[in-house]
Amino acid sequence: MRRYRDRLLAAPARLWAWLGLAALSAGAAVGYVTYPTFPTYDTLYSLIWGREIAHGHLPSFEAYRAPTQHPLYVLAGVILTPFGHHADRIMIAITIASFVALVAALYRLGKALAGPLVGFVAAGLTLTRLDFPYFAAVGYVDISYLACVFWAAALEAERPRRGTAVWVLLAMAGLLRPEGWLLLGVYVLWMGWHASWAQRARYVAYAAVAPVLWAASDAIVTGNPLYSLQYTSRSAQDLGRGKPLHDLPSLAITYLSEITKPYLLVAAAIGAVLAWRLGQRRFALVGVLFVCGAVSWLVIATGGLATVYRYMAVAGLSALLPAAFALGGFTVLPAGPTSRPGTSATTCASATTPTRSSSRC
């Protein structure tokens, strides 16, 4: 038994990652089959609008109490129309698969930042934030959005200024939620910092794809390219989802606590300090994600839109990375005993003779 245990412990991290992904995928599939759920209001409307388009009609965005449209989900509704009454179950399967992808993205991002152990801890923390599997089980668009955002971050962390794959993922995110537009703008600044003006113009064009397509779909259907933003604001006020400005700071902390839990926020603060003290500069990417998530929530809240705690999800999930570093970041520490300044292992070895050792060692 000990021999088998030693072989397991000696297995490469890649093998454990694949085994973990297989187990998670199997568990998600069993849950999907065993616990049938029904899609939320937003997802059902995406299917209805997709069916209307597939049958040659404009989608009824202006229907009474209709939710805000999400272009990529409406497109999914068009594609799923031939499946008839099975379309809603397929949409749920897509969001559950997106949840599996989200957990995998947190692993890849944690691994890219500070090694496999931090990646495993980040994935485990994501799995135990039970709001996210619930959102997946009822078809919330947020899960697919988060999967796109964090896979983009993971790929960028592995190879800075990666380009194409990150642009595609962020554009998909921007067609799922308008908060993705802020991330696209930040990526333009990052990619264009040392680029030529021609390259910068191309990056701006890439970033404009999502908001332009969203506005175009609104304009074609309603005649107003800003319909989604204006309608969401009116709907939030009618439903009492807006909050006064003086409540927003405490509300932001409350929402972060609901998503991550207070003890993990403390661990995240500790991990952020440790990463800074240990010179882990790659964690700046996590800081950018956290700030973008918080800023986009503030823009939504101050713009009269709905202050829903799901909209703080990017910031909340970003906080799991420094929390994972606080728990598993010891793997980035230098191996061996710590030497005093001016003293090295080589110096000590050379100062040692068969008859006498240097007292400095």
**Predicted pLDDT of residue 250:** 77
Give the CA angle between residues 130, 132, 136 to the nearest 5°: 120
Looking at beta carbons, which pairs linking 246-254 to residues 24 or more positions away fall under 8 Å?
248/298, 248/301, 248/302, 248/307, 251/301, 251/307, 252/294, 252/297, 252/298, 252/312, 254/309
Give the CA angle between residues 106, 44, 47 to the nearest 5°: 95
**Predicted pLDDT of residue 270:** 95
Q: How confident is the model at residue 340 (pLDDT cuts 50, 70, 90)?
A: very low
pLDDT at residue 2 is higher than 90: no
Return the number of other C-beta atoms located less than 10 Å from residue 30's C-beta: 10
Tens digit of pLDDT for each residue in 174-228? 999 999 999 999 999 999 998 999 999 999 999 999 999 999 999 999 999 988 8
From CA 271, how far away is CA 260, in angstroms rounded? 14
Core vs surface per residue 148-178: b (16+ CB within 10 A) or e? bbbbbbbbbbeeeeeeeebbebbbbbbbbbb
Mean pLDDT of 156-167: 94
pLDDT at residue 341 is higher than 50: no
Query: What pTM was computed for the model?
Result: 0.86
From CA 310, how far away is CA 57, in angstroms rounded? 32
Helix (H, G, I), strand (E, B) or coil at 234: helix
**Predicted pLDDT of residue 116:** 92
Return the number of other C-beta atoms located less than 10 Å from residue 213's C-beta: 16
Of 1-10, 92-101, 123-132, 328-337, give the lowest mean pLDDT range: 1-10
pLDDT at residue 94 is higher than 50: yes
**Predicted pLDDT of residue 68:** 87
Q: Which amino acid is at 68?
A: T
**Predicted pLDDT of residue 348:** 41
Q: How confident is the model at residue 3 (pLDDT cuts 50, 70, 90)?
A: low
Q: Which residue has the higher pLDDT, 253 or 4?
A: 253
Q: What are the Cα distances from residue 157, in Å, to 101, 292, 310, 312, 324?
A: 17, 16, 25, 22, 16
- Report the percentage of the chain scoring pLDDT > 90: 60
**Predicted pLDDT of residue 345:** 39
**Predicted pLDDT of residue 358:** 39
**Predicted pLDDT of residue 351:** 41
pLDDT at residue 55 is higher than 90: yes
Q: For the chain, what is the mean pLDDT? A: 85
Tens digit of pLDDT for each residue in 291-338? 999 988 888 777 655 667 788 899 999 999 999 999 998 887 776 554
**Predicted pLDDT of residue 306:** 62
Return the number of other C-beta atoms located less than 10 Å from residue 27's C-beta: 13
Rg value, the chain, Cα: 24
**Predicted pLDDT of residue 267:** 94
- Residue 113 belongs to what H/E stretch? helix 87-114
Residue pair 183/170 in contact (Cβ under 8 Å)? The answer is yes
